[in-house]
Amino acid sequence: MVNLKIDGKDVQIEKGATILAAAEKAGVQIPTLCFLKKISPTGSCRVCGVEVAGADQPMTACNTPAVEGMAITTQSPRIARIRRQVVQMLLVNHPLDCPVCDAGGECDLQDVCYDLDINRQPYVAEDLSHPVINTWPLIQQVPSRCILCEKCVKVCHEVVGASALELRERGDKAFIDTVDGKPLDCEFCGNCVAVCPTGTLLSKPFLFKARPWELTRKPSVCTQCGSQCQIDYNVKEGRVYRVTSEDGVTVNDGNLCIGASFGYGYINSDQRLRRPLVREADRFREAGWDEALGAVADRIRKVRESSGPQSLAGLGSPRLTNEENYLFQKLFRAAIGSNNIDSEARYGALRVQKALGASLGLQGASNPIDRIGRAAAVMVFGSDVTAEAPAIDWQIEKACRKNDGKLLVANMRRVKLARYANTFLQYRPGTEVALANALSRLLLDLGLADEAFLGRSVSNLAELKAALAKVDLEAAVRETGIDRALLEEGARYLGEASSVALVFGGDVAKGEGAEAKVAALSTLAMVSGALHGDLGGIFPVDEKGNMQGLLDMGVFPESLPGHQPYAVARAKFEKAWGVKLPEGGRDLHGILEGIEKGEVKFLYLAATNPLVTFPDSGRWRRALEKVEFLVVQDILPSEVTRLAHVVLPGVSPAEKTGSVTSLDHRVSCLGQAISPVGEAREDWQILADLYDRLSPRGVTLDTEKILAEMKSLLPLYTEVCFSGEGRCRPCQKAPYRPADKSLTFVPAEAGAAAQGMQLLTGKILFHFGTTTTFAEGTLEVAPEGYVVMNPEDAKALGLGAGGGVRVKSSQGSAQGKVKISAEVPQGLLFAPYHFSDVNIQQVLPAGTNRVQVEVAKI
């Protein structure tokens, strides 16, 4: 620690801290323009100059370390004069077009001028500024307003890792441009706009829509992905005009991705469903809530009387809140009498959760996500985590760029993080188990595993070691296609790191044999030390917003809320709910088969679209065309609403209350920023109303009371406490300490490497499920579906960029435009699943995200 005086106040601060940090601690404010806590100091604006006793010249507080015995003066006539001159120099070429600048009212430069009493621009010079750049998607660049603070460049490079911007030219001609001089082609996270202290970088969708002082900021949580960043909806006259986040006070440190910054447009879409719709013959007509819900309740009663409660089924959704999913399962189990409930989690997250529960006793991530940012090594396995959960990517950037950690990426594709990885393990499709086992064996062979930790954590260690010793490394090299030296390098990085974070995602969870892959990764996590200590951990990533909450609420037949096995906990819930609960229950596959066989006659889809997002979507289409009665509760029109008999309009997260749970078990409240559009209702209100109609006991229509019931019945949520709307107070859970785990060794199957042309589907950075395909902002950078193909494969087919391609499997076929990129290796195609125009999921069989295909030019 060092001791110093600031404006006469004694301050003690850790060695290496800056004068600015010491001043903040002393409660002394120093003006800044180029300083931003989350990036490295630039020291370019000089506004933060202070006097240091004994030094002739003022020093910049933001990048000068505080040293023992310093005496600092932050306010004096000399300092005020210097600061004024510094800012007046910044204004030399500044256009002072404040009346037409979109940053007016939230411009740091304007505020500093005001604070320093600068009321004129004494210096003038020839304006050599670069002209306004309007050719970038989503972002406008006005170089004449730039003060060259480089916050945008540094946030883009150091925080987001996109490294798309740089300072070009010198002197008066200097301006911020893209690194290649072409129109911006980046992650479009909008963080450069958020940190710009002037009106240089502006959001085009927000341009001239509202003045900052007209906007009310409503704190909430982004539910576009499982990271659940804290956000503020900026609202005017009942409409969301933009989404922002605050530095320093949010779990995401003010950072947002494209989903929040530019993907909110679907909330305001003209296509939103505003009134209930009831089918009459081949047409829909608008109906009142009483009529629509009455029709649904009547049909439920009729089907139940004629065919029994087992002929009714429903699918919940990670787009719904915890309370809504809780009500959904209660509606089916307690009011309808059917345990035929499930969700898309069956194709991924549920498999992961079951496998992680079996191997490590975990129901998700072992640690909060900020432990990734502090890990000494991070391994990202089978995940384009940049797309699946951008906030996890930022934690990885922090670990590896800021804290100099090692990065290992294991993926079939050369995803973004592979570009910066210390070791990139590009494995052949289907060889995840072989790769994970080989790394575990190498860690033991190289003597890099923490034997003491393993000894107290793994009850069958001798057995596990014996099994790993038999892993054929040469076979692993052949199968995965990765050099032995590279495997050893990766193992060394993991083994030599003091803490390890193991992140895995879609290609593990949604691929064939997910359970075996998770078991192999659980062993790797244990052997690499990822589960040892408070830093790092194991982090299963699911792209969908409230997937953790959906599973915690028991929207699957095997479990009641709180992961309480159905058979075991049934009596407890029967007592609490005062009803006899049904036996058995169909899962997703059983529901589909039941519809095909005519045994399931009624299906309720709550905020889920099997026809675009589920694998084997063609089979789902045939089933939904056949089911006798289909109810769809959703916010936007889709292929499923068109097939429905009754459509019930729910609302977006900006219009509702309730809680959601992040992938690292943070529980946060949504802040209701605007009223529901039209006559749409909060989803929990729809479910509660229906419950009321079907059950003599009824449900209290209040999310707080629903939460109180949840807390009384779910051990996981009893400690959850809310600090207010839109903000969370994480549950104080005891740190995860594996002990006496019996790990199951899963051998890699010989010949598991896929043969022939493979099609892989998944999420892309620019879209989140299907909702953002209704947002103008995200559509501007990703307007339609496509298929990514390696240049050599494209050449062999005579295909150029944008050419048409058809992919065909035994399941079905789809066609779209081709994108040519070496991101995919030869023999592998990748297609995003979000777009109904391509509807790529119909090519996949159930239970996998990859299939062998024939590919042809069209």
Contact footprint for ligand FES (CB under 6 A): 32-35, 43-48, 60, 62
User: Of 62 and 551, which has the nearer Cβ to ligand FES?
Assistant: 62
Q: How far is the CB of 44 from ligand FES (least distance, A)?
A: 6
User: Of 85 and 307, which has the nearer Cβ to ligand FES?
Assistant: 85
Task: List C-alpha distances in Å: 401 to 69, 235, 389, 397, 813.
Answer: 33, 36, 18, 5, 42
Parallel, antiparallel or unpaired: strands 629-634 and 646-649: parallel
Residue in the block written with tokens 């058979």: 567
Report the distance separating Cα 251 and Cα 386, nearest Å.
17
Structure tokens at 74: 């932050």
Q: Are 794 and 800 in contact (CB under 8 A)?
A: yes
Q: How far is the CB of 29 from ligand FES (least distance, A)?
A: 12
The three-class DSSP label of residue 60 is strand
Report the distance separating Cα 203 and Cα 298, nearest Å.
49
User: Of 48 and 258, which has the nearer Cβ to ligand FES?
Assistant: 48
Q: Are 419 and 543 in contact (CB under 8 A)?
A: no
Assign residue 689 a region: left if phi > 0, alpha if psi is -120 to 50, beta otherwise?
A: alpha
Q: How far is the CB of 4 from ligand FES (least distance, A)?
A: 18
What secondary structure letter does DSSP report for 634? E
Structure tokens at 788: 């990514």
Taking Cα atoms as reference points, which of 384, 434, 372, 447 lies closest to residue 411?
A: 384
Distant-in-sequence, close-in-space partners of 325: CB < 8 Å, separation ≥ 6: 316, 317, 546, 549, 550, 553, 555
Structure tokens at 381: 């396995």
Strand-pair partners of 667: 661
Report the distance separating Cα 319 and Cα 337, nearest Å.
24
Q: How far is the CB of 161 from ligand FES (least distance, A)?
A: 24
> What is the longest distance spanned by two Cα atoms in the chain?
93
- Strands (DSSP E) contained in 26-138 are 49-52, 59-60, 71-73
User: Of 43 and 590, which has the nearer Cβ to ligand FES?
Assistant: 43
For 371-389, b/e burial (b = at least 16 CB within 10 A) is bbbbbbbbbbbbbbbbbbb
Residue in the block written with tokens 């998700």: 364
* DSSP sequence for 742-760: -PPP-PPPTT-S--S-EEE
Distant-in-sequence, close-in-space partners of 452: CB < 8 Å, separation ≥ 6: none
Which H or E run contains 690? Answer: helix 683-694
- Please tell me the chain's helix, strand, coil percentages from 3-state DSSP, rounded to the nearest 5: 35, 20, 45
**∠ CA 678-679-683, rounded to 5°:** 115
Residues in the chain: 858
User: Of 32 and 839, which has the nearer Cβ to ligand FES?
Assistant: 32
Report the distance separating Cα 454 and Cα 693, nearest Å.
55
Report the distance separating Cα 599 and Cα 591, nearest Å.
9
SS3 string, 314-356, reads EECCCCCCHHHHHHHHHHHHHHHCCCCEECHHHHCHHHHHHHH
User: Of 4 and 235, which has the nearer Cβ to ligand FES?
Assistant: 4
Rg of the chain in Å (alpha carbons):
28
User: Of 148 and 579, which has the nearer Cβ to ligand FES?
Assistant: 148
Parallel, antiparallel or unpaired: strands 813-820 and 786-789: parallel
Report the distance separating Cα 775 and Cα 820, nearest Å.
26
